[in-house]
C-alpha cells in the first residue's frame, strides 16, 4: 500500500519529469511552499486565519503521526494525549510557575518524549489492536490525570494560557502565527521526506510489510519503531504547546479519545504513507465541519456519512487515489 | 493559464466566504450564539437553542428591536472548548455579530471570553461557574446563578435544620467539579463540615459503591449531590434503593422535568434550590418573577409541548437583557450596548432580578434567583423560607 | 462483609453490561477482523427504540422484542451498507467506516429522539431486594441472568450447530471456508446482525438501571472495546472475563479507595496485563491477525 506514490526518485533509473513533479521531495515541497505563500492572499480576518492556523497545526501533527501509522504500521489511538500533555505542560509552566515561553515549550516536548521513550518498549512489542489498545490506555491515563488534577490544570473546564513571548516579542497577531506555523510545517515536511527516503525510512516501510522479513534483513526493528514513536509524540507535544499559546486556552478534550481518533482519521483519509496526503487529510477534516454547520442538527449525521463514503470509495485515501487517477490520465 | 485560474480563485474566495462590508441602519441586528446543542452538555444546550430560536422569531413578529429585525446565527460547539473558540471567532469576524449569547459550559465560555475582550464585542454567557464574572471582564456578562450561590442556598437550609456534618458526592465533569470546589469554599460560613467527599465520572451508571461508603460513616447527617445531567437521577435512585434515611440535597443542576421523570418516586423528599421558572405556577402573584416566568413558560410549552428547564431560562434572560440593553443604547454600537448592559437595573427576568454594575456582571442575588423546593408527590413544592 | 458483597453485586451488574458490549465486538471481530466502533451505538439504539416504542402504547414485552430486532437489522445493514461495499479495504479503513457509521447513527438518533435522557420501568418492578445486607434492584438480576443466558446460547450455537461452526470456520480462514462451500457473505451478514442484536439486548436490559440517551454509545463502545481486548480479542470467554474485571475494578475502586482515579486504574490494569500477556487474558498467542 505504501508502494508507488511515495517511491523515491531512484538513482539507477532514468528520471523523467513526471517523477520529479510527483516526487514528494521536489514536486511536493514546491507545491506546499506555493500554497503556504499564496494562502494569506485569499483569506482575511480572525476566523479564516484561525482555520488556516488550525490546519497548519493539525497537518504538522498528522505528518509525524503518519510516519508512525502509515510507514511503520503502528496504530496509535492515544496521540491526542501527547498533544494535550504538551499543551498543558506549557500552559502550567508559564502561567503557574512563570517559566519563559520557549523553555516551557521545550520542557513539554522533553516530558512527552521521555514518556514515549519509556513506554515505547513494552507498548511497541504489542501487535495490531493490542498496540492500539495500549496507546489508547496510555492516552486515557494522561487524559484522566489532566481532568482530575484541578489545582494544576483547571480540571474539566480547562485553563487560560498567556501569549507566546520570544525574546521580548509577544506573538499576538494571526499573520505572525501563520508564518511561524507554516515554517514549522515546511520543516516537518522536509524532515519527513528525508526520513522516508533514508535507509531508516526504507526500514520503516519494510516494517509495515512484514516485521519478520525486516528483522531477517538486519534492520533493527525495535530501534526504529521506538525512534518514530518518540519523534511523533514529541512533534505532537510541540504543536500542542504552540496551540495552547495561540488559542490562549486549553481544555482536556484536546487530549481526549475522540481527538486521537480524529488524528488517525486525518492520516487514513488523506492517505496512509503519503506525506502530502497528511496535509490534505488535516485540511479536509479541519475545514469540513465548518461547512457542515449549515446542516444544523443534521451536522453529525452528514459528517458520519461523508466519512463512510470516503472510506468506501477511496480506501487508499484521498491523495493516493487522486494521484493514481492523474497518473493514469497522463499515462 | 492565468485566465484559467481566475474562476478557481473566485470560486474559492466565494467558498471561503469573504464577507461584504458596510452597515446601514436598517440592517438586521445580528445576534450570534455558540451552544452545546450536542455532546455531554446537550441537556443544557438543547433547551437554550429552542428558546433562542422561538423568542427571536417572536420578537421579529412583533416588529423587531429599534425597528430592525433580529438575525440569529448559531453554532453547535458540542461541548468542546476549542470548537467554541473557533465559533466565537467566526461569529465576531465572519458573521459580524452585534452581540453574542452563548457558551453553555464554563469551559466553552472561558475559552472564548478573552476573544470578546480583545475584539470588544458584548458577550452574555450561559455558564454557571463563578470564574466567568470573577474577576469582572469588561465585555463578559452572564445570566445563570453561580454554583457558589447554589451551595450557599443548600447549606443555609441545612443549617436551619440543624445539620452540621455532611457527605458530598459530585461528578468529575465541569459542572460537578466546579460545584464541589465551591461547596468546599463556602461550607465554613454555615458551620458545615464535609466529612465524606465522593466523586464519580459523568458517564457512570451506578453510584451504589460511593453511597455505601457515605452511609458507612456514622457522622454524616445529610448527603449533598452536586452535578447535572442524568447522573444525579442515578444517585437518587441508588440512594433510595439502599434505603438511606438521611436527607438528600441536589443542586440547581437537576432543575428540570427530566430529573423528576428519571428519578421517579426515589426523588420524594429531595430538596434543592431552583430557578423561579421551574415553580412559576406556584409563585404568588406578588412575586416579581411570576409574570416573566409565566410568559416564558406558556410560550415555550405551546411551541415544544414540554415545560422549559432553568437552562433554557438562562438563554431567555440573556436574550431579553440584550434586547433591553440595545433599546436603551438606541443603537448596536458595541460600547453603548456594553455600557447599557452594565447599567441594567431592576430587570425582572425568569431567573431572578438583575442589577448589574461595574463590579457585578451577573447581577443576581440569592433571594430573587433561588427558591428552595422539596419534591413531593412527584413534583416541586415550595419550601417556606 | 456486607459492604464487600454490595460492591461485588454492583461490580458484577456493571461488568455484565460491559461484557455484553464486548461480546458484540467479539462476534464482529471473529467474522471480519474489524473493530466495530458502532457497537456501543447498537446498545443505544436498542434502549432508545424500546423506550419510544413503549411510549407509543405498545406492550412492554413486544416493545422489547421489536427493539432487539431493530438492533439486529441495524447490524446487518451496517455490513451491507458500509463494510461489504468497501470490499478489500484494510482493517484500519474498515474501522474508520465504523467510526463514521457510529457518528451517523448518533446523528440520526439526535434528530429523531432529541438530546434527553430516557428511562423505562424494570421488567419485574423496581422494588429493591435486600439480602444479607446487600441491596439490589430486580433489574440487576435480569442483567446478570440475560448475560448468562446469552453466553450459554452463544456457546451452544458455536459448538453444536452447523451454522455456528460455519461462522467459526469463516473466522479462522475465510478462503478455506469458501472452498468448503460455506456462504461466507451470509456468515458475515449474520455475524453483524447478531452483534447488533446483542447490542440491542444489552440496551434494553440496562436502560431501566442506567437510562439511555443518544450519546450513551460513546462510553459503552469504549468500555466494551477495552473489555474485549483485555480478555483477548475474539475470545468469548475473554470478553465476559474482561467485562467483569472492568466492572469489578470500578466498583471496588469506588468503594474502597476513591472514585477520582477509578477509570485510570482500570487502564493501568489493562496496560499491565498487556505487558505481561500481549494477547490479552484469553487471546490466541502468536497469531498475528492484523
Measured CB to CB, residues of chain A less than 8 Å from chain B are 42-48, 50-51, 54, 147-148, 150, 155-158, 160, 247-249, 251, 253-254, 290, 293, 296-297, 299-300
- Average pLDDT on B364-372 reads 89
A78: closest CA among A144, A132, A156? A132
Do the Cβ atoms of A298 and C102 come within 8 Å? no
Q: How confident is the model at residue C289 (pLDDT cuts 50, 70, 90)?
A: very low
Mean pLDDT score of chain A: 88
pLDDT at B16: 47
pLDDT at B18: 42
Evaluate if residue C21 carries a pLDDT over 90: yes
Q: How confident is the model at residue C116 (pLDDT cuts 50, 70, 90)?
A: confident
Alpha-carbon distance values, A17 to A23, A111, A194 (Å): 10, 45, 20
| Residue to test with chain A: of B13, B19, B86, most A Cβ within 10 A | B86
- Average pLDDT on C263-274 reads 88
Mean pLDDT score of chain B: 90
User: In whole angstroms, what is the distance from residue A170 CA to residue A102 CA?
Assistant: 12
Size of interface B-C (CB pairs under 8 A): 93
Q: How confident is the model at residue B124 (pLDDT cuts 50, 70, 90)?
A: very high
In this structure, the answer to whether residues B45 and B129 fall within a common structural domain is yes
- The chain B residue lying nearest C253, using CA atoms, is B209
In angstroms, the separation between the Cα of residue C267 and the nearest Cα of chain A is: 5
In angstroms, the separation between the Cα of residue B76 and the nearest Cα of chain C is: 13
Burial class (CB in 10 A: 0-12, 13-18, 19+), C127: exposed
Flag whether B336 is in a domain: yes
In this structure, the answer to whether residues B163 and B249 fall within a common structural domain is yes
Chains that touch A (3 or more CB pairs under 8 A): B, C
Chain C residues with CB under 8 Å of B46 CB are 114-116
- The chain B residue lying nearest C13, using CA atoms, is B206
User: In whole angstroms, what is the distance from residue B129 CA to residue B106 CA?
Assistant: 6
Q: Is residue C206 less than 8 Å (CB to CB) from chain B?
A: yes
- Average pLDDT on B159-176 reads 94
Evaluate if residue A19 carries a pLDDT over 80: no
In this structure, the answer to whether residues B216 and B252 fall within a common structural domain is yes
Q: How confident is the model at residue A214 (pLDDT cuts 50, 70, 90)?
A: low
C24: closest CA among C147, C122, C175? C147
Do the Cβ atoms of A129 and C229 come within 8 Å? yes
Alpha-carbon distance values, B40 to A185, B35, B36, C214, C215 (Å): 34, 12, 8, 10, 8
pLDDT at A20: 67
Highest mean pLDDT among A194-198, B95-99, B254-258: B95-99
In this structure, the answer to whether residues B165 and B221 fall within a common structural domain is yes
How many Cα neighbours within 13 Å face the side chain of B225?
A: 31
User: Is the ipTM reported for this complex over the cut 0.85?
Assistant: yes
Q: How confident is the model at residue C115 (pLDDT cuts 50, 70, 90)?
A: confident
Torsions phi, psi of C10, nearest 5?
-60, -50
Nearest to C259 among B37, B45, B200 (CB): B200
In this structure, the answer to whether residues B235 and B301 fall within a common structural domain is no
User: In whole angstroms, what is the distance from residue C151 CA to residue C143 CA?
Assistant: 12
3-state secondary structure of C212: strand
pLDDT at B322: 97
- Average pLDDT on A172-180 reads 92
C33: closest CA among C183, C188, C241? C188
In this structure, the answer to whether residues B251 and B269 fall within a common structural domain is yes
Q: Judge whether C180 and C162 are in contact, CB under 8 Å.
A: no
**How many domains does the structure of chain B reveal?**
2
Q: Judge whether B347 and B124 are in contact, CB under 8 Å.
A: no
Q: Is residue B200 less than 8 Å (CB to CB) from chain C?
A: yes
Do the Cβ atoms of B229 and C7 come within 8 Å? no
In this structure, the answer to whether residues B262 and B164 fall within a common structural domain is yes
In this structure, the answer to whether residues B107 and B177 fall within a common structural domain is no
In angstroms, the separation between the Cα of residue B111 and the nearest Cα of chain A is: 5
| Residue to test with chain B: of A47, A143, A242, most B Cβ within 10 A | A47
Q: Which residue has the higher pLDDT, A200 or A164?
A: A164
In this structure, the answer to whether residues B209 and B267 fall within a common structural domain is yes
Q: For B222-243, what is each residue's pLDDT tens digit?
A: 999 999 989 999 999 999 999 9
Q: Is residue B21 less than 8 Å (CB to CB) from chain C?
A: no
- Average pLDDT on A299-303 reads 91
3-state secondary structure A267-300: HHHHCCCCHHHHHHHHHHHHHHHHHHHHHHHHHH
**Range of lowest pLDDT (A193-202, B340-349, B357-366):** A193-202
> What kind of fold does domain C2-276 have according to CATH?
ABC transporter involved in vitamin B12 uptake, BtuC (1.10.3470)
Do the Cβ atoms of B38 and C255 come within 8 Å? no
Chains that touch B (3 or more CB pairs under 8 A): A, C
In angstroms, the separation between the Cα of residue C87 and the nearest Cα of chain B is: 33
Size of interface A-C (CB pairs under 8 A): 132
- Average pLDDT on B23-33 reads 81
- Average pLDDT on C191-205 reads 95
- Average pLDDT on B82-100 reads 94
B197: closest CA among C251, C11, C3, C258? C258
Do the Cβ atoms of C7 and B212 come within 8 Å? yes
- Average pLDDT on A310-328 reads 89
Do the Cβ atoms of C115 and B261 come within 8 Å? no
- Hey, CA dihedral for B156, B159, B164, B169, is it positive or negative? negative
Cα-Cα-Cα-Cα torsion B282, B283, B289, B292, nearest 10 degrees, comes to 50
Evaluate if residue C286 carries a pLDDT over 60: no
Q: Which residue has the higher pLDDT, B273 or A225?
A: B273
In angstroms, the separation between the Cα of residue C90 and the nearest Cα of chain A is: 8
User: In whole angstroms, what is the distance from residue C245 CA to residue C145 CA?
Assistant: 18
3-state secondary structure chain B: CHHHHHHHHHHHHHHHCCCCCCCCCCCCEEEEEEECCCCCCHHHHHHHHHHHHHHHHHHHHCCCECCECEEEEEEECCCCHHHHHHHHHHHHHHCCCCEEEECCCHHHHHHHHHHHHHHCCCEEECCCCHHHCCCCCCCEEECCCCHHHHHHHHHHHHHHCCCCEEEEEEECCHHHHHHHHHHHHHHHHHCCEEEEEEEECCCCCCCHHHHHHHHCCCCCCEEEEECCCCHHHHHHHHHHHCCCCCCEEECHHHCCHHHHHHHHHHHCCCEEEECHHHHHHHCCCCCCCHHHHHHHHHHHHHHHCCCCCHHHHHHHHHHHHHHHHHHHHCCCCHHHHHHHHHCCCCEECCCCEECCECCECCCCCHHHHCEEEEEECCEEEECCC
Chains that touch C (3 or more CB pairs under 8 A): A, B
All cell numbers assigned to B50 = 429552542
Nearest to C93 among A257, A300, A315 (CB): A315
Chain B residues with CB under 8 Å of A249 CB are 81-82, 85, 110-111, 114
Do the Cβ atoms of A156 and B181 come within 8 Å? no
User: In whole angstroms, what is the distance from residue A132 CA to residue C31 CA?
Assistant: 20
Do the Cβ atoms of B178 and A253 come within 8 Å? no
Architecture of domain A4-330: Orthogonal Bundle (1.10)
Q: Is residue A121 less than 8 Å (CB to CB) from chain C?
A: no
- Average pLDDT on C11-20 reads 94
Q: What value does the CA radius of gyration of chain B take, rounded to a whole number of Å?
A: 22
Evaluate if residue C263 carries a pLDDT over 60: yes
Residue A24 DSSP label: I
Evaluate if residue A229 carries a pLDDT over 70: yes
All cell numbers assigned to B379 = 413534583
Question: In B, residues 223-242, which contact C (CB 8 Å cutoff)?
Answer: 229-230, 233-234, 241-242
The residues pairing with B167 across neighbouring beta strands, listed in sequence order, are: B196, B223
Owning domain of residue B106:
26-145+293-369
Do the Cβ atoms of C107 and A300 come within 8 Å? yes
Task: Write A180-186 long-range contacts (CB < 8 A, 24+).
Answer: A180/A242, A181/A53, A181/A56, A181/A57, A181/A60, A181/A242, A181/A246, A182/A36, A182/A56, A184/A56, A184/A60, A184/A239, A184/A242, A185/A32, A185/A36, A185/A56, A185/A59, A185/A60, A185/A63, A185/A279, A186/A29, A186/A32, A186/A33, A186/A36
- The chain B residue lying nearest A174, using CA atoms, is B89
- Domains of chain C, residue spans: 2-276
Question: In C, residues 251-280, which contact B (CB 8 Å cutoff)?
Answer: 251-252, 254-255, 258-260, 262-263
Evaluate if residue B194 carries a pLDDT over 50: yes
In this structure, the answer to whether residues B162 and B253 fall within a common structural domain is yes
Do the Cβ atoms of C115 and B258 come within 8 Å? no
Q: Which residue has the higher pLDDT, B4 or B113?
A: B113
Q: For C46-85, what is each residue's pLDDT tens digit?
A: 999 999 999 999 999 999 999 999 999 999 999 999 999 9
Flag whether B180 is in a domain: yes
- The chain A residue lying nearest B12, using CA atoms, is A42
Evaluate if residue A139 carries a pLDDT over 50: yes
Q: How confident is the model at residue A170 (pLDDT cuts 50, 70, 90)?
A: confident
Nearest to B174 among A50, A156, A160 (CB): A156
- CATH number of the domain where residue B217 is located: 3.40.50.2300
Do the Cβ atoms of C90 and A299 come within 8 Å? no
Amino acid at each position: 500500500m505504501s508502494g508507488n506514490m511515495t517511491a523515491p526518485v531512484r538513482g539507477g533509473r532514468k528520471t523523467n519529469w513526471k517523477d520529479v513533479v510527483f516526487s514528494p521531495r521536489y514536486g511536493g515541497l514546491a507545491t506546499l511552499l506555493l500554497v503556504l505563500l499564496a494562502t494569506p492572499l485569499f483569506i482575511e480576518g480572525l476566523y479564516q486565519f484561525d482555520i488556516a492556523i488550525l490546519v497548519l497545526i493539525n497537518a504538522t501533527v498528522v505528518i509525524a503521526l503518519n510516519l508512525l501509522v502509515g510507514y511503520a504500521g503502528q496504530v496509535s489511538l492515544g496521540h491526542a494525549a501527547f498533544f494535550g500533555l504538551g499543551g498543558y505542560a506549557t500552559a502550567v509552566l508559564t502561567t503557574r510557575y512563570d517559566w519563559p515561553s520557549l523553555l516551557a515549550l521545550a520542557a513539554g516536548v522533553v516530558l512527552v518524549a521521555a514518556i514515549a521513550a519509556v513506554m515505547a518498549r513494552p507498548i511497541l512489542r504489542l501487535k495490531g489492536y493490542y498496540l492500539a489498545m495500549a496507546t489508547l490506555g496510555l492516552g486515557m491515563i494522561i487524559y484522566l490525570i489532566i481532568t482530575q488534577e484541578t489545582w494544576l490544570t483547571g480540571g474539566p473546564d480547562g485553563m487560560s494560557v498567556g501569549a507566546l513571548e520570544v525574546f521580548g516579542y509577544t506573538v499576538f497577531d494571526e499573520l505572525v502565527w501563520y508564518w511561524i506555523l507554516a515554517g514549522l510545517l515546511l520543516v516537518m515536511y522536509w524532515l519527513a521526506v528525508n526520513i522516508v527516503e533514508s535507509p531508516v525510512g526504507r526500514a520503516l516501510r519494510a516494517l509495515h510489510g512484514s516485521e519478520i522479513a525486516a528483522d531477517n534483513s538486519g534492520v533493527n526493528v525495535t530501534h526504529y519503531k521506538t525512534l518514530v514513536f518518540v519523534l511523533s509524540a514529541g512533534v505532537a507535544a510541540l504543536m500542542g504547546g504552540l496551540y495552547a499559546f495561540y488559542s490562549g486556552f486549553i481544555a482536556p478534550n484536546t487530549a481526549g479519545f475522540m481527538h486521537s481518533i480524529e488524528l488517525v482519521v486525518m492520516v487514513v483519509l488523506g492517505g496512509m504513507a503519503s506525506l502530502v496526503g497528511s496535509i490534505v487529510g488535516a485540511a479536509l477534516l479541519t475545514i469540513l465541519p465548518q461547512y457542515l454547520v449549515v446542516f444544523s442538527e443534521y451536522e453529525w449525521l452528514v459528517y458520519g456519512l461523508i466519512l463512510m463514503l470516503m472510506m468506501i470509495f477511496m480506501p487508499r485515501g484521498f491523495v493516493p487515489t487522486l494521484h493514481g487517477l492523474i497518473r493514469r490520465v497522463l499515462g | 493559464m492565468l485566465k484559467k485560474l481566475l474562476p478557481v480563485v473566485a470560486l474559492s474566495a466565494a467558498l471561503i466566504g469573504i464577507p461584504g462590508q458596510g452597515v446601514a441602519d436598517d440592517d438586521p441586528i445580528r445576534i450570534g450564539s455558540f451552544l452545546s446543542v450536542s455532546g455531554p452538555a446537550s441537556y443544557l444546550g438543547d433547551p437554550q437553542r429552542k428558546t433562542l430560536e422561538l423568542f427571536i422569531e417572536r420578537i421579529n413578529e412583533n416588529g423587531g428591536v429599534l425597528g430592525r429585525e433580529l438575525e440569529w446565527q448559531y453554532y453547535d460547539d458540542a461541548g468542546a472548548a476549542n470548537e467554541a473558540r473557533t465559533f466565537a471567532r467566526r461569529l465576531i469576524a465572519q458573521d459580524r455579530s452585534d452581540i453574542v449569547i452563548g457558551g453553555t459550559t464554563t469551559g466553552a465560555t472561558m475559552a472564548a471570553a478573552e476573544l470578546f475582550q480583545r475584539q470588544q464585542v458584548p458577550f452574555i454567557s450561559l455558564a454557571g461557574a463563578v470564574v466567568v464574572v470573577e474577576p469582572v471582564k469588561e465585555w463578559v456578562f452572564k445570566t445563570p446563578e453561580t454554583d457558589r450561590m447554589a451551595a450557599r442556598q443548600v447549606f443555609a437550609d441545612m443549617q436551619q435544620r440543624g445539620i452540621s456534618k455532611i457527605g458530598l458526592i459530585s461528578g468529575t465533569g465541569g459542572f460537578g467539579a466546579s460545584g464541589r470546589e465551591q461547596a468546599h469554599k463556602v461550607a465554613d460560613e454555615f458551620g458545615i463540615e464535609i466529612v465524606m467527599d465522593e466523586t464519580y465520572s459523568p458517564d457512570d451508571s451506578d453510584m451504589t459503591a460511593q453511597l455505601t461508603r457515605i452511609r458507612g460513616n456514622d457522622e454524616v447527617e445529610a448527603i449533598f449531590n452536586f452535578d447535572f445531567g442524568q447522573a444525579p437521577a442515578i444517585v437518587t435512585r441508588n440512594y433510595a434503593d439502599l434505603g438511606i434515611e438521611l436527607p438528600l440535597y441536589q443542586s440547581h443542576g437537576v432543575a428540570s422535568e427530566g430529573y423528576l421523570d428519571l428519578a421517579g418516586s426515589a426523588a420524594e423528599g429531595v430538596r434543592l434550590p431552583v430557578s423561579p421558572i421551574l415553580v412559576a405556577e406556584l409563585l404568588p402573584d406578588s412575586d416579581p418573577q411570576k409574570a416573566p416566568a409565566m410568559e416564558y413558560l406558556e410560550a415555550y410549552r405551546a411551541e415544544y409541548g414540554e415545560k422549559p428547564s432553568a437552562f433554557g431560562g438562562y438563554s431567555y434572560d440573556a436574550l431579553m437583557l440584550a434586547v433591553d440593553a440595545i433599546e436603551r443604547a438606541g443603537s448596536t454600537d458595541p460600547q453603548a450596548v456594553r455600557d447599557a448592559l452594565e447599567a441594567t437595573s431592576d430587570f425582572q427576568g425568569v431567573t431572578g432580578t438583575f442589577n448589574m454594575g461595574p463590579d457585578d456582571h451577573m447581577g443576581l442575588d440569592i433571594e430573587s434567583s433561588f427558591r428552595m423546593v422539596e419534591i413531593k408527590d412527584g413534583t416541586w413544592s415550595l419550601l417556606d423560607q | 462483609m456486607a459492604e464487600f458483597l454490595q460492591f461485588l453485586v454492583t461490580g458484577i451488574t456493571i461488568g455484565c453490561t460491559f461484557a455484553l458490549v464486548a461480546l458484540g465486538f467479539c462476534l464482529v471481530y471473529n467474522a471480519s477482523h474489524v473493530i466495530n466502533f458502532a457497537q456501543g451505538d447498537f446498545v443505544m439504539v436498542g434502549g432508545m427504540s424500546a423506550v419510544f416504542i413503549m411510549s407509543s402504547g405498545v406492550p412492554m414485552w413486544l416493545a422489547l422484542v421489536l427493539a432487539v430486532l431493530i438492533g439486529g437489522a441495524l447490524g446487518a445493514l451496517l455490513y451491507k451498507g458500509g463494510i461489504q461495499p468497501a470490499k478489500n479495504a484494510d482493517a484500519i479503513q474498515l474501522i474508520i467506516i465504523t467510526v463514521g457509521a457510529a457518528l451517523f447513527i448518533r446523528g440520526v438518533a439526535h434528530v429523531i429522539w432529541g438530546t434527553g435522557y430516557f428511562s423505562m420501568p424494570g421488567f419485574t418492578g423496581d422494588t429493591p431486594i435486600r439480602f444479607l445486607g446487600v441491596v439490589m434492584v430486580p433489574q440487576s438480576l435480569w442483567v446478570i441472568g440475560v448475560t448468562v443466558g446469552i453466553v450459554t446460547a452463544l456457546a451452544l450455537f458455536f459448538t453444536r450447530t452447523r451454522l455456528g461452526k460455519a461462522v467459526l470456520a469463516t473466522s479462522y480462514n475465510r478462503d478455506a471456508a469458501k472452498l468448503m462451500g460455506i456462504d461466507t457473505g451470509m456468515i458475515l451478514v449474520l455475524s453483524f446482525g447478531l452483534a447488533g442484536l446483542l447490542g440491542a439486548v444489552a440496551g434494553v436490559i440496562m436502560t431501566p438501571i442506567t437510562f439511555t440517551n443518544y450519546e450513551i454509545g460513546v462510553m459503552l463502545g469504549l468500555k466494551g472495546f477495552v473489555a474485549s481486548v483485555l480478555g483477548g480479542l475474539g475470545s468469548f470467554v475473554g470478553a465476559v472475563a474482561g467485562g467483569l474485571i472492568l466492572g469489578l475494578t470500578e466498583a471496588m475502586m469506588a468503594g474502597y479507595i476513591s472514585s477520582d482515579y477509578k477509570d485510570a486504574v482500570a487502564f493501568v490494569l489493562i496496560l499491565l496485563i498487556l505487558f505481561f500477556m500481549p494477547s490479552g487474558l484469553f487471546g490466541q498467542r502468536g497469531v498475528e491477525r492484523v
